[in-house]
Structure 1
Amino acid sequence: MSSSSFVNSSLPDTSDRMLFAVPKKGRLYDQCLSLLSNIGIEFNRKPRHDIALATNMPIALVFLPAADIAAYVANGNIDLGITGLDIIRESQTENDVAELMRLGFGKCKLQVQAPAVNTGVASAGDLVGKRIVTSFINLTKEKFAELEGVSVDRMSTQVRFVSGSVEAACGLGLADGIVDLVESGDTMRAAGLHAVDTILETESVLITNKHPRFPKLAGVIKQRVEGLLTARKYVLCQYNIARENLEAACRVAPGRQAPTVTTLEQDGWVAVSVMVEKKMLNDTMDKLQEAGAIDLLVLQIANARA
């Protein structure tokens, strides 16, 4: 299928636009919409339409099931896409797409889960040769073939596909264990299950076809996303300090590249601006004060570029 396959008499012409696929629903949908807004892609999506033209960039947004996006990008039907790392690995397209960057949202774990009581299952190895239910057939088969030390076509473990409510399979007597995505673990615990192994830690990923039609535009999108993620990770810390204490303060907060230092009217004093990771902010401010910094201010960063 080529990009022209998305075009018919009832859909807008996308021949001169980069096709950018995002999940049409599910756990990544809302966060993808927020990302698109924050990187300045403006569009109006009509009800029940799965293609929306950006009004300020030569981009056509294509809303697809997340499970299909990696394959469309790998085949060249779509230029750019956002999907989960688990889907890329499950669809076995990791060698056919270029991973531009991890996006930091949609984080969860693909885990082997088993009943928590009265089964004696403490590890994935205890499920070898037994019944496993999952919607991740390929990754599950690879895992248990590895545990058995055989090829997938010779493994004794029975892996069965189900598309939803995987956590109910053990309680219904359909399986001895399951493989499914776990975020908080509440659903699994409610079903009487516990994790016995983690196959993959996953999150959302920005991917492109290895032979993109619009490499410059894809690079622009990547830069915008990088700037947004940097802004979410850092804050700008400003403080005044005696020049004789500046070296010690810069060791505490060296910034991404280097602090910005400005001479003050007061002799022997400087003003410093430096980017600090949010998760380290309070400890960093404590240490800066110990080094002699005063008048500390913290400012949120709306966007950033390297």
Structure 2
Amino acid sequence: MSANTVNPDHCLFAVPKKGRLYEKVTAMLKGAGVEYHREPRLDIAICKDLPMTMVFLPASDISKYVGEGNVDIGVTGIDIVEENCSEVERVMDLGFGACRLCVQAPVASQITDVKDLAGKRIVTSFPTLTKKFFDPIDAEKGVTTSIRFVSGSVEAACGLGLADAVVDLVETGTTMKAAGLEVVGTVLQTESILITNPDSKHKKIVELLKHRIEGYITSKKFVMVSYNCSADILDAVSSITPGKRSPTITALTDGGHAVSSLVSKKEIVRVMDDLHAAGARDILVFELSNSRM
């Protein structure tokens, strides 16, 4: 299959072609019911149940293709959209890929104020954002910071004597610390987002995908808790499990009530303890595979 075989009536969805972001996005799409088969070494795949073609591209290029209208929708980071100055519509935040774009200097330099780096040498894969960050500082101090672009191994620049500091993404900080660097300033908070071209003719598919992905994200964040309680403690236990909107309450023949409610996965153990302490019984927790709210 080649680009020439793409159905011109299909919505084009750009997916990062490799790496951790690729794995996260493909898992999300599978959970959202977007089915396709990608042949080895091919960067195009036809969706099975939607008039949509998946196009696998470098994450750093996706916002350009979406902004220019070459593809209709895609997943990339806020940092990429801002770096490329792409005119796209931000459909939704996806809840993964969160990290910071930071100014990092060698620990040995003992630099704690980012203003002390104005006029010095900075190496980065994000020259546009870096220049935007340093421009007001340069104007204040009457200097010009040298910003040099490199496409990879940014953290090695200081150790090789190529830079006084770097601007790079920080997730856990492990790579930064291994290179003897520390954060002295934050340029941007970023995460993965779903974007679309504002003039796309496939608005209905974009909206459908948004609902499907929202349903999947909800299913990953929440579980359903179900329990029984007597009438006299109904108000108390319902306040423990208010749900996303409100709990579902069903009257039982013995005068009690059965209650079901969505609870954050992070809180479920504590919620079960609180329910039991309040007098609820037959407490069960169910995993969700998908949802629509």
**TM-score higher than 0.5 here?**
yes
What CA deviation, in whole Å up to 9, does each residue of 1:250-284 have, x standing for no partner? 222110011001111212x1010000011111222
The answer to whether the Cα contact below 8 Å between 1:252 and 1:288 also exists between their aligned partners in 2 is yes
Whole-angstrom CA distance in 2 between matches of 1:232 and 1:38 = 10
Whole-angstrom CA distance in 2 between matches of 1:108 and 1:18 = 30
Structure-2 residue corresponding to 1:214 = 202
Letter aligned with residue 299 of structure 1 = F
The alignment covers a number of residue pairs equal to 293
The answer to whether the Cα contact below 8 Å between 1:11 and 1:51 also exists between their aligned partners in 2 is no
The answer to whether the Cα contact below 8 Å between 2:96 and 2:192 also exists between their aligned partners in 1 is yes
Structure-1 residue corresponding to 2:179 = 191
Is structure 2 residue 269 aligned with structure 1 residue 282? yes
Structure-1 residue corresponding to 2:226 = 238
Relative to structure 1, the CA distance from residue 147 to residue 273 in structure 2 (aligned partners, 3 Å threshold; closer, same or farther) is: same
- Deviation of 1:48 after TM superposition, in Å, equals 2.4
Structure-2 residue corresponding to 1:5 = none
Whole-angstrom CA distance in 1 between matches of 2:131 and 2:258 = 59
Letter aligned with residue 101 of structure 1 = M
Question: What secondary structure does 1:28 align onto?
Answer: helix
Aligned positions of 1:57-96 closer than 5 A: 57-93=50-86, 96=87
Whole-angstrom CA distance in 1 between matches of 2:2 and 2:217 = 39
Match of 2:101 among 106, 110, 125: 110
What CA deviation, in whole Å up to 9, does each residue of 1:144-169 have, x standing for no partner? 11333469xx8511111011100000
Letter aligned with residue 35 of structure 1 = M
Which range is displaced more, 158-167 or 33-42? 33-42
Unaligned runs of 5+ in 2: none
Relative to structure 1, the CA distance from residue 51 to residue 251 in structure 2 (aligned partners, 3 Å threshold; closer, same or farther) is: same
Structure-2 residue corresponding to 1:299 = 286
Aligned identity (percent) is: 48
Structure-1 residue corresponding to 2:18 = 25
Whole-angstrom CA distance in 1 between matches of 2:272 and 2:244 = 16
Which range is displaced more, 252-261 or 37-46? 37-46
Structure-1 residue corresponding to 2:110 = 120
Structure-2 residue corresponding to 1:4 = none
Q: TM-score, normalised by structure 2?
A: 0.95
Structure-2 residue corresponding to 1:3 = none
The answer to whether the Cα contact below 8 Å between 2:35 and 2:49 also exists between their aligned partners in 1 is yes
Match of 1:139 among 124, 129, 147: 129
Whole-angstrom CA distance in 2 between matches of 1:170 and 1:48 = 36
Whole-angstrom CA distance in 2 between matches of 1:272 and 1:157 = 62
Relative to structure 1, the CA distance from residue 10 to residue 187 in structure 2 (aligned partners, 3 Å threshold; closer, same or farther) is: closer
Whole-angstrom CA distance in 1 between matches of 2:158 and 2:189 = 23
Question: What secondary structure does 1:68 align onto?
Answer: helix
Letter aligned with residue 43 of structure 1 = Y
Letter aligned with residue 179 of structure 2 = A
Question: What secondary structure does 1:83 align onto?
Answer: strand
Question: What secondary structure does 1:159 align onto?
Answer: strand
Relative to structure 1, the CA distance from residue 279 to residue 131 in structure 2 (aligned partners, 3 Å threshold; closer, same or farther) is: same
Q: TM-score, normalised by structure 1?
A: 0.91
Whole-angstrom CA distance in 2 between matches of 1:9 and 1:54 = 15
Whole-angstrom CA distance in 2 between matches of 1:131 and 1:248 = 61
Whole-angstrom CA distance in 2 between matches of 1:161 and 1:198 = 18
Question: What secondary structure does 1:42 align onto?
Answer: coil
Structure-2 residue corresponding to 1:39 = 32
The answer to whether the Cα contact below 8 Å between 2:15 and 2:75 also exists between their aligned partners in 1 is yes
The answer to whether the Cα contact below 8 Å between 2:250 and 2:259 also exists between their aligned partners in 1 is yes
